[in-house]
Amino acid sequence: MTKRIYIWVLLASFALCAHAETIVLHTGARVRGTIVFQNEEVVIVRDREGARYQYPRADVKEVIADVTEEEQPQKEEKAGEEITPQKKVSILLELGGGAAFNSNDKGGAFSVDLLVGSHHIGDRHILAGAGFGYHGLFIGANKYNFLPIQMVLRLPLTEERHAPVFGAALGYGVALSKNYLGGIYADLDFGYRCQLNPRTAISVVAFGQFQQAKIQQTEIVGGEPFIHTTGRYVVTAGLKMALYF
């Protein structure tokens, strides 16, 4: 008998400790679930379906203890509909500019990229996906335009609101001119990212890009035009600003 009473006391204590809370974010969003871990940097919440979500402590405004099931519908009607803790997909818009070089000359470059991918992998703000862009390169007297089709990765190195971020891309740059052909495209980024709220972030990164190309050149040989193709590569380095939404 004493053993049964002891078991019931343990179960009751567990139920009291595992009650649900409402997490109120600085954005006004309310997330209902059970806090499974928290410290000075993060708060991890488990929802009714068992999914876990992680928020930087700086994004959490307050934690409100849950009310009874009878009172909860009335409270939710006053507060408005419950907001989903995290979205599944992010769109990333990047704008960049810098210096461009090839084996013969140097100049400038600008780029615009639109990328789409997963918003989270596990409990991390990792973007993995694909997209395309428009890159303009001005080297010497020549202008090169490419449409890079790419697979991308954007990885913050910590889950704090302010964090260093690493990025990489690999794909094919389609040339937008009859005078040259496209080729392999690669990109590496490293810089700073700020998580404005659970759905939006901005970043500023330094980047290095490599674009392979084949240039068709016309020369006069013996009074006759002669067209030949030479392999080229273009290296670009500069800064990019990005908006995650």
Q: What pLDDT, on the 0 to 100 scale, is given for residue 26?
A: 80
Task: Note whether 55 and 153 are same-domain residues.
Answer: no
3-state helix, strand, coil in the chain (%, to 5): 10, 65, 25
Question: What CATH number is given to the structural domain containing 176?
Answer: 2.40.160.20
Q: Which of 209, 220, 235, 137 is nearest to 180 (CA)?
A: 137
The burial class, CB within 10 Å (0-12 / 13-18 / 19+), for 93 is middle
Q: Is this model's pTM higher than 0.85 or not? A: no
Report the range of poorest mean pLDDT among 36-40, 227-231, 235-239: 227-231
Question: What CATH number is given to the structural domain containing 14?
Answer: 2.30.30.100
The confidence band for 9, taking pLDDT boundaries of 50, 70 and 90, is very low
Residue 222 lies in a domain: yes
Task: Note whether 17 and 39 are same-domain residues.
Answer: yes
Q: What pLDDT, on the 0 to 100 scale, is given for residue 8?
A: 42
Task: Note whether 194 and 131 are same-domain residues.
Answer: yes
Whether 186 shows a pLDDT value over 60: the answer reads: yes
Residue 84 lies in a domain: no
Task: Note whether 110 and 17 are same-domain residues.
Answer: no
Last residue of a domain, one of 55, 79, 103: 79
Task: Note whether 19 and 109 are same-domain residues.
Answer: no
**Tens of pLDDT, residues 128-175:** 999 999 999 888 777 888 999 999 999 999 888 899 999 999 999 998
CA distance 115 to 210: 18
Q: What pLDDT, on the 0 to 100 scale, is given for residue 56?
A: 87
Tokens 């006069």 belong to residue: 220
CA distance 144 to 123: 41
φ and ψ of 200, to 5 deg: -130, 140
Report the range of poorest mean pLDDT among 18-27, 39-48, 144-153, 192-201: 18-27
- Which DSSP string corresponds to 81-123? SPPPS--SEEEEEEEEEEEEE-SS-EEEEEEEEEEEEES-BTT
**Tens of pLDDT, residues 59-87:** 888 888 765 444 444 444 444 444 444 56
Task: Note whether 61 and 121 are same-domain residues.
Answer: no
Domain interval for residue 13: 2-79
